[in-house]
């Protein structure tokens, strides 16, 4: 089939969007299906339905008030888990179109990948994992899958959102062998050491492109990092100098946006060029051959170094900044004390999270579900209700 693009020639008039995909892309009609059989939709592909179910989920709406780096109330313009997920989807779709991959699957994975994230960003996950060590631990990728498989309550016929296999495996970016054996087919690739779809591989790197760029933006806006510091990172410094040369005298937000625009473009273009070459060399004929190949969506070695340098800079200068650490300590205390209180006295939990006859591990998992589902402000409010005398 020839590749058609608007303005479409007449032979393309009766084609559906998935007809334009490369043979190695994930075609929803050839997917591995849903856990519970459903009739196809008349006007939407399977992955479009997944995307729509995710957008309408309760967990997706809660992302608006979950921390990316800065707490939601620290500023109206800082990213949240929701805006981060939207940026990942935008970057991912743009790259997918260039590689003739399934944009709808990329978007669904991007919008769902953080649904299981705790309040207060990674510190919430780390603390909850420590609390849950005797009960299987906690990992936000596993929790995201648990949200879409079990915790969302929208349908009469089944728990969860009943998403397609390919969407679910894309959500599950990381998984230990122990958990993989428990999860079954969706995690089998971690046991077999095979690859997920190209769409899942792409979304993983679109996530990295999005947070590298927007965390720099938020860090500069907050004043916790400076342009002078960033110029010491060769990749950013090179782009910053390009902007100064193209727009002499440009400063402030315009100069920052121009630089970050170039940063995103450089990362995305490198990913497209490198991945196109890898795909051409491997020549997979379908998704099954993609799964049996080495990873085919990658940065070049030079760009991987540049991206890693940026991540190291952000880790040292932003994520570990003393002001961020202060909030990290407060958030850690809130999550730990909520968990300890609920474990000591489950009657403090809402009725839906209390197990009358369950064992301790089952109760602990319900508590983890409750805490992980909280927004930042709800966790702060719950902690105040439990520990502040003013709330009596």
Alpha carbon distance 392, 382 (integer Å) = 13
Alpha-carbon gap, residue 386 to 367, rounded angstroms = 15
pTM of this structure: 0.92
CB 359, CB 45: distance < 8 Å: no
d(CA 371, CA 379): 7
Question: From the centroid of its chain, how far is CA 270?
Answer: 21
H or E segment at 357? none
Token couple for 29: 């009609």
* Degrees to nearest 5, angle at CA 351 with 364 and 147: 55
Percent of the chain with pLDDT strictly greater than 70: 93
pLDDT attached to residue 9? 56
Given the structure tokens 């009469």, which residue do they identify?
A: 156
Phi, psi of 34 (to 5 degrees): -105, 160
CA–CA distance, 175 with 55 (Å, rounded to integer): 25
Give the chain's length: 392
Q: Would you state the pLDDT for residue 135?
A: 95
Least confident of 74-83, 120-129, 253-262: 74-83
Residues 6 or more apart in contact with residue 88 via CB below 8 angstroms: 110, 113, 203, 206, 207, 210
Could you read off the pLDDT of 327-380 as tens digits, one per residue? 889 999 999 999 999 999 999 999 999 998 879 999 999 999 999 999 999 999
Q: Report residue 10's pLDDT band, with 50, 70 and 90 as the boundaries.
A: low
* Residues 187-238 pLDDT 10s: 999 999 999 999 999 999 999 999 999 999 989 998 999 999 999 999 999 9
Distance, CA of 130 to CA of 3 (rounded, Å): 51
CA separation for the pair 327, 70 (Å, rounded): 9
Residues paired with 153 in a beta bridge: 160
Instruction: Report the 10 Å Cβ neighbour count for 92.
Output: 28
Residue 297 pLDDT: 98
Digit-coded pLDDT (tens) for 97-128: 999 999 999 999 999 999 999 999 889 999 99
Q: Which two tokens stand for residue 152?
A: 């969302």
Closest CA to 82 of 102, 99, 59: 59
Please, what is the average pLDDT of the chain? 91
Asked, as a colleague might, if the bond just before 7 is cis with ω within 30 of 0, I would say: yes
Quote the CA–CA distance of 343 and 151 in Å, as a whole number.
20
């Amino acid at each position: 089939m020839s590749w058609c693009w608007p303005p479409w020639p007449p032979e393309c008039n009766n084609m559906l969007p998935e007809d334009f995909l490369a043979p190695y892309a994930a075609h929803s009609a050839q997917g591995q299906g849903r856990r519970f059989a459903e009739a196809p939709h008349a006007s939407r592909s399977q992955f479009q339905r997944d995307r729509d179910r995710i957008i309408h989920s309760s967990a997706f709406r809660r992302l608006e008030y979950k921390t990316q780096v800065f707490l939601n109330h620290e500023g109206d313009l800082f990213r949240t888990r929701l805006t981060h997920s939207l940026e990942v989807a935008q970057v991912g779709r743009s790259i997918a179109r260039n590689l003739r991959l399934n944009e709808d699957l990329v978007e669904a994975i991007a919008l769902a990948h953080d649904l299981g994230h705790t309040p207060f960003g990674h510190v919430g996950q780390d603390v909850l994992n420590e609390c849950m060590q005797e009960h299987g631990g906690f990992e936000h990728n596993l929790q995201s899958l648990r949200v879409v498989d079990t915790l969302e309550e929208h349908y009469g016929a089944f728990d969860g959102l009943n998403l397609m296999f390919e969407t679910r495996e894309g959500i599950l970016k990381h998984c230990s062998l122990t958990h993989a054996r428990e999860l079954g087919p969706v995690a089998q690739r971690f046991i077999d050491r095979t690859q997920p779809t190209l769409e899942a591989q792409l979304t993983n790197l679109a996530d990295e492109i999005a947070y590298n760029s927007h965390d720099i933006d938020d860090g500069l806006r907050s004043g916790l990092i400076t342009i002078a510091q960033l110029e010491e990172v060769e990749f950013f410094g090179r782009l910053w100098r390009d902007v100064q040369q193209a727009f002499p005298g440009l400063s402030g937000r315009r100069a920052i946006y121009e630089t970050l625009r170039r940063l995103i473009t450089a990362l995305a273009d490198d990913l497209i060029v490198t991945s196109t070459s890898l795909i051409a060399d491997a020549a997979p004929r379908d998704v099954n051959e993609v799964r049996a190949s080495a990873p085919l969506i990658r940065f070049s070695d030079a760009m991987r170094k540049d991206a890693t340098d940026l991540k190291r800079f952000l880790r040292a200068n932003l994520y570990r900044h003393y002001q961020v650490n202060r909030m990290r300590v407060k958030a850690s205390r809130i999550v730990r004390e909520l968990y300890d209180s609920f474990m000591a006295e489950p009657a403090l939990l809402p009725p839906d999270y209390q197990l009358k006859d369950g064992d301790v591990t089952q109760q602990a998992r319900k508590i983890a579900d409750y805490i992980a589902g909280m927004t930042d402000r709800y966790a702060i409010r719950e902690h105040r209700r439990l520990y502040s005398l003013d709330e009596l």
